[in-house]
Amino acid sequence: MIFIYKEIIRKHIDKLCINDLEKFALKNNINYTQDELIIIYNFIKYNYNDLLGENIKVFEQIKDKINPVLYKKILNLYIEYKQKYL
User: Over the stretch 7-31, which tens digit does the pLDDT of each residue have?
Assistant: 877 888 889 999 999 999 999 999 9
Q: What is the pTM of this model?
A: 0.86
The average pLDDT across 71-84 equals 91
Percentage of residues in the chain having pLDDT higher than 70: 95
What are the extents of the domains in the chain? 2-85
Q: What is the pLDDT of residue 2?
A: 64
Confidence class for position 61, pLDDT limits 50, 70, 90: very high
Residue of 10, 25, 17, 14 lying closest to 66 (CA atoms): 25
